[in-house]
Amino acid sequence: MSTLDRYIFWEQAKVFFISLIVLLCVLLLEKVNFLSGLLLTKDASFKSIGLLLLYLCPSFLALAAPLAALMSALLTFSRLAADNEITAMKTGGLSTMRIITPAIALSSLALLLTVHMSVNVAHEWNLSFQEAVIGILKSNLSAGIKERRFNESFKGLLIHVNSNNDGDLSGVFISDQRDLERPRIIEALKGTLRTADNGETVIMELEKGVVHTMAAEGSYRTLGYDSYTLKVSAGDEYTHPVDKEIPQLSLPELSARIAKLTREGQPADAEKVAIHKAFAAPVGCVVLGILGAALGMLTHKRGSAGGFGLGVVMIVINYLLWMIGQGLGSEGKLPPVLAIWAPDIIMGVVGLYLVYLVSRDSQPPEFVGVVWDKISGWKAWKQ
């Protein structure tokens, strides 16, 4: 790698990593409500929330890396062009493709990293995310029992407590409707709540209370006790699902599920989308890297602010294409291969066309400049 290549590569790399971190943070905001709910209502620790955020990163990286490649290439080459460094390179005999070679190299490294994350890491960390959430819910079951409120945390039970100090209960009132033929009212002076069977069972150890029972024939009786043990199933919310969800499946597992669904005559579009997505998103790193470099050289007259604004517009367009294609492909309204690869194809064609324009020192058609001027509010490009 020549000195010039290293210069362009590291200039873009700095912007790439900043853009990647910013985009990851923006994408992670999608989970803020859910994670804040765990923090506030389930007493999850900040360490646990940080671990959950880490588990989400590989999945979001597949979307953030291509967008970061676009933004970093656009801003870097826009600055180089504005400082007449691109002109100097061309004067020295370098072709357009030779100039953007460092951008392709950086985008290719991003592609390799993203492929590794999408194929080998994301599904395992998605499963770890689910297990961590279940672990938080199981270990903080008592947090769901609010003081001086009627709580329906467990199916068939209505629970009211005067105080709840991390599972140490006092003034306990329980309406047990699990057996509709023999409903019970359980009162206790105090009690403790703990889990057993790896969190699948909740045990309430109650002390000094009374059990009121209504028998099937209509008779009523009470039973006083010094200690009483009530066992409750933790419920589906706190247990693993029977099958893994699509984001938690490896490529071989997805292929096996597709084969099974095909034999059964059921649609497997969502699974096919997931397989194509694992490769289409990383390829987008190179596609958008080339597009960003060409756009940067074409829009340098607008300055860094113009390049940034155009980058945001292109990110929104690519994101919308990606989300729409994924939705249509998963629902079977478009063939999965077309739905997922269409954004790369569209952006790739546009990128190669812009590279062609740059190599001929041309500008895009006039209507492109007019549309962009309407969006940005700036003056039209000068001829």
Task: Report domain extents, the chain.
Answer: 3-137+244-376, 155-234
Contact, 132 vs 140, CB < 8 A? no
Q: What is the mean pLDDT of the chain?
A: 83
Is the pLDDT score of 71 beyond 50? yes
Q: How does residue 380 score in pLDDT terms, banded at 50, 70 and 90?
A: very low
Asked whether the whole model's pTM tops 0.75, one would answer no
Calpha distance 207→35 (Å, rounded): 35
Is the pLDDT score of 148 beyond 90? no
What is the rounded average pLDDT of the residues 372-380? 48
Q: How does residue 66 score in pLDDT terms, banded at 50, 70 and 90?
A: very high
pLDDT at site 383: 41
Q: Tokens standing for 186?
A: 């359980």
pLDDT at site 34: 81
Residues 61-100 as b or e (16 or more Cβ within 10 Å = b): bbbbbbbbbbbbbbbbbbbbbbeebbeebbeeeeebeebb
Is the pLDDT score of 38 beyond 80? no
Do the bridges between strand 168-176 and strand 220-233 make them parallel or antiparallel, or are there none, so unpaired? unpaired
Q: What is the pLDDT of residues 79-128, one digit of tens each?
A: 888 888 888 998 888 888 899 999 999 999 999 999 999 999 999 999 89
Q: How does residue 1 score in pLDDT terms, banded at 50, 70 and 90?
A: low
